Amino acid sequence: MGHTMPMRMDGDLFEAAKAVGAVASRSAAQQISHWARIGRELEASPGTSQRDIQRVLAGDAAYDDLGERGQAIVRAIWDEEMSKRLARLDLAAEFTQAGRSWTDADENGDAVVRDGTTGA
């Protein structure tokens, strides 16, 4: 068995690994290692061209032109990038900084207009 190293990870990923791992009788750490090994094998697969995947990610090639493995890798990368972007997204702060009003829902689902100069 290889040696382990501590690492930080997204809480959602950990919770997903815990849930999926329980079904397969794995700990969260074991499930994440399992997913990492699958990802490593997919990327190293002879049927998967890293160059083609990079072209799709850059917008220079069509997703549909990739095989199933290449599409799986692209979807995983897209999912990771979207999670990062969503974590950084703070529209209330952006609108307040720009002095723009916005509407959102309160805890009861009722529409509330927020003052863009104060955020309240």
What count of other Cβ atoms lies within 10 Å of the Cβ of residue 114?
16
Cα 99 to chain centroid distance, Å, stands at 30
Over the chain (120 residues), what is each successive 10-residue block's mean pLDDT?
A: 76 90 87 85 76 91 91 87 85 89 91 79
pLDDT for the residue numbered 2: 63
HSE-CB for 119 with a 13 A CA cutoff: 9
State pTM to two decimals. Answer: 0.52
Write down the domain spans for the chain: 11-88, 91-120
pLDDT at 62: 95
- Give the bridge partners for 103, in sequence order: 113
Please report the pLDDT score of residue 63 as a whole number: 94
Q: What is the pLDDT of residue 35?
A: 86
Q: Check residue 113 and give its pLDDT.
A: 92
Q: CA end-to-end span of the chain, whole Å?
A: 55
